[in-house]
A and B are shown apart, each in its own frame.
Chain A
Amino acid sequence: MIKTTFTAGLVALVTALTSSAAMAQTEVTWWHAMGGENGAKLEEIAAGFNASQSDYKVVPVYKGSYAETLTAAIAAFRANEQPTIVQVFEVGTGTMMAAKGAVYPVYKLMADNGEPFDKSAYLAPVVGYYSDSEGNILSMPFNSSTPILYYNKDVFKKAGLDPEVAPKTWADVEDFSKKIMDSGAAKCGFTSGWISWVQLENLSAIHDQPYGTLQNGFGGLGTEFTFNGEVQVKHWDNLKKWADAGIFEYGGPVGGNDAPPKFYTQECAMYMNSSASRSAVVANSADFEVGFAPLPYYDDVIAEPKNSIIGGATLWTLNGRPADEYKGAAKFFSYLSRPEVQADWHQFTGYLPITNAAYDLGKSEGYYDKTPGADVAIKQITRGTPTDNSRGIRFGNLTQVRDVIDQEFEAMLAGSVTAKEALDTAVERGNVILRDFEAANQ
C-alpha cells in the first residue's frame, strides 16, 4: 500500500515536471509508417532526441501503412493541418518531388537553420536516389533497404548441398532448387516478396538494363518505361517456367504477404526480400539456420553485376509550419545522422546504415564479424560504379505502375499471357499512367 502511494506520488511528480517542461518546448510532429518492432525502435529514437535537449520535443505518430501515411499527409496538407515531418516511401518520391510548393527541401532546411549537412557523409546510392537534378538532397534519408537473398542452411544440408555456398547465379538457383526438391528437403525452391521491386526494378539495375528513358526518369517527366527488354522478358519467362515446375512460389501482390510464411515454415528453401526483413527472418527461424547472400544474376548477361537499388523511406519536411518547428526538425535530423544513432537503428532493423560513419562504427565494433550476413545488403548496394540504369528510378504515380506490374505478372502466372505480352502490356499501361502524371504536373 505504501509502495503504491509512493509510486503514485512519483508519477504525479514526473507528470508535473514533464508538463511544465513541455510548455516551454516546441513540439515537432512526425508522422511515420513503422509498426511492430521497428516502430518501437523509432519511438526510442525520438525519445532519445527529446532527452538529449530541452527545447524541442519530437512527437512520433503512427499513421498506418506507407500508402496510408502518404495519403494522410497529403489530405492534411490540403486542409492546412500537415505535420512538420512525414515519412514517405521510395515509391512516393516522384510524387513528393513534383509537389514543389509542399516540400521544404532538406538541404535548404539544414542551411536555413545553421545545421551542418554534408552529403558526402551519406552513402552514395542513398544520396543519388533522393537528390534532384542539381544534386541537392530533398529529403532526409532514414530507413533505406535493398533486397537480398535469404536461404535455409538446414534444408541445403539435407539436400546434400554445401550450406555455406549460396547460389550466385539464377542457373544456380534453378539447379539448387531442383536438388532440394528431388531430395525432398523442401517442397519449393524459392519465393519472393515485392515482385515489382525485386524481380523487375532491381533485376534491371543489377543487369544494367534501362527501366525507363531519360535516365530511368531522373531526366524529367517525359520519361517512358522500357522494362520490356530482352533480359527482363527472359527472367519473367523463367519465373513462369519455374512457377509451373513448383520451383518458384508466388507470394502475392505488392509486398507479397504470403511469401514470408513460405520461408518460415520451411516450405521454400530460399526467399528474396528487403534487407529490413532481417529482424523478422531472425525472429521466425528458431528451427533452422539462415544464410544471407546477394541477389542472384545471369552470368551470361553481365559478368560483374551492378549495384542493387534502394527501397524504404525518407523523411520529408512540409511547408507551412512555424519557423521554430523547422529549427527543431533540423536539430532532430542532425541527431538522426549521428553515427551511434544510425548504427543502432541499422543493426536492430536490418535497414542500411545511412552514413559512412555509421558503417565504419559497426565495423570498428566488430558487428559484421559477430553477425555474419549483416553487411550483405550494404556491399551489394555499393558494389561497382553506378550507371544511369543502376542509380535508381524516378517515376510519378509509381504505386499505380507497380500495381499494373503485379497484375500483369499474375496474368502471366495464370497462363493467360506470355512473359513478353505481360511486360509489353505493363509498359503500355504504365506509360498511360506516366502521361497522366506529366499532364497533372505541367
Chain B
Amino acid sequence: MQTKRTIFPNRVLPYLLLTPQMLITLIFFIWPAGQAVKSSFEREDPFGFKTQFIWFQNYTKLFADPSYLNSVGRTAVFAVSVTVISMSVSLLLAIAVNRLLRTGRIYTTLLVWPYAVAPVVAGILWWFMFNPSIGILPYLLSFAGIDWNHRVNAGNAMTLIVLASSWKQISYNFLFFVAGLQSVPQSLSEAAAIDGAGPFKRFWTIIFPLLSPTTFFLMIVNINYAMFDTFGTIDATTSGGPAQSTNILVYKVYSDGFLGLNIGSSSAQSVLLMGIVIVLTVIQFRWVERRVQY
C-alpha cells in the first residue's frame, strides 16, 4: 500500500496547521472527558462545595445496581433491533432503487428526507402518531384488537422507540447501500446470469459478499447511532419509561446526572460508555478495515 507524503519545507508549519484542530479536540473532547474521569472517582454535592475521593465506589455501586444492569440489557436489545431493522429495510430499498434506471434519483431524494429531520422532531412526530389517547395508530390498532399503551406496556414502548429510531437511520444506510451497489461491477452479475444463476443466488453469492465492507461499516455506525444519537427520540417519546424499560445507557446518564444531579454516578456511566465507543472504534479500524476484503 502506498501512502502519500507531503514534505513541508518549514518545520513549524505542519504543527501550526494542526493547532486549530488540536485545540478544538483538547477543549471540547479531551478536557471534558478528563473531567468526567475525575468526577467518576468522586462523591460531590451538586454545587461542588464538598468533594470526596472515593476510589471505585461509583463503579462498584453501578454494577450492584439492578437498574443499571437492566439498562445494559435494554441497550443491547435496542441497539441490535435498530441495527437489524434499519439495515435490512434500507438494503431492500437500495436494491429496489438500484434496479430502476430513470426514477432512481427521485426515490433516492425522497428516501433521504427523514435523515434531515432532527431526532427530537422525529420523536414528537412518533409521539403524536402513537399517543394512546389522541394518536391515529392506537386508534387503528384498536380495530385489530390491539390495546396500544406505551405508557404502561414495556413491549409497546420498546417497539415505539425501535421504530422511530430505525426510521430515521434508514436514509443514511440507504445512501451507503446504493453507492455500494453501484460499485459492484455489472459484468460479474451478468456472467453469473449467463452461467444460469437466478437473481436470488446472484445476490447472495456475488452482490452481498461484495457489499460486505459497506455492511460492516454501517453495522458499526448503526450500533453507535442506536447507543448514542437516539437520545432526542427517547426523550420526546418515552423518557425511558415505563418502569425503565426504555432507559438505555445514554439516557440514564442524562437522567441521573442532569435531572437527578448525581454527578459522580453519571460520570462513571459516561466513562463506561466512553469505553464502549473506544472498543467499537478499535474494532472498526483494526478489524473491519483489514479483514473485510474481496
Contacts and interface: CB of A to CB of B under 8 A. Distances in A.
Contacts of B149: 250
Contact of A413 (B47, B242, B258): B242
Contact of A78 (B48, B154, B242, B255): B48
B168 interface: no
Interface string A375-415: 00000000000000000000001011001001110110110
A99 interface: yes
Interface in B29-71: 43-50, 52, 67
B152 A71 contact: no
A88 to B, nearest CB: 12
Contact of B133 (A74, A243, A258): A258
Interface stretch (B73-81, B110-118, B259-267): B259-267
A183 interface: no
Contact of B134 (A261, A399, A400): A261
Contacts of A71: 258-259, 261
Interface size class of A (residues with CB under 8 A): 35 or more
B241 A99 contact: no
A403 B152 contact: no
B47 A102 contact: yes
B154 A414 contact: yes
A78 B243 contact: no
B278 to A, nearest CB: 27
Nearest to A77: B47
Contact of A253 (B45, B46, B131, B239): B239
Contacts of A67: 258-259
A406 to B, nearest CB: 7
A1 to B, nearest CB: 42
A399 B260 contact: yes
Interface stretch (A22-30, A207-215, A434-442): A434-442
Nearest to A439: B43
A262 B134 CA distance: 8
B232 interface: no
B49 A101 contact: yes
Nearest to B48: A78
Contacts of B260: 397, 399-400, 403
Interface in A36-92: 67-68, 70-71, 74, 77-78
A426 B84 CA distance: 36
Interface string A82-110: 00000000000001001101100000000
Given A261-B131, A440-B50, A250 B152 contact: yes
B173 to A, nearest CB: 32
Interface string A216-260: 000000000000000000000000000100000111111000100
B241 A252 contact: yes
B134 A99 contact: no
Given A253-B242, A407-B243, A414-B243, A399 B49 contact: no
Contacts of B49: 99, 101-102
A15 to B, nearest CB: 36
B54 to A, nearest CB: 9
A78 B67 CA distance: 30
A407 B134 CA distance: 23
B205 interface: no
Contacts of A284: none
B45 A99 contact: yes
A98 B132 contact: no
27 contacts: A67-B258, A68-B258, A77-B47, A78-B48, A98-B45, A99-B47, A101-B47, A101-B49, A243-B152, A252-B241, A253-B242, A258-B133, A261-B134, A265-B134, A397-B260, A399-B260, A400-B262, A403-B260, A410-B152, A410-B242, A413-B152, A413-B242, A414-B152, A429-B67, A439-B43, A440-B45, A441-B50
Given A410-B241, A411-B242, 8 more contacts: A101-B49, A258-B133, A261-B131, A399-B259, A403-B259, A406-B241, A410-B152, A414-B243
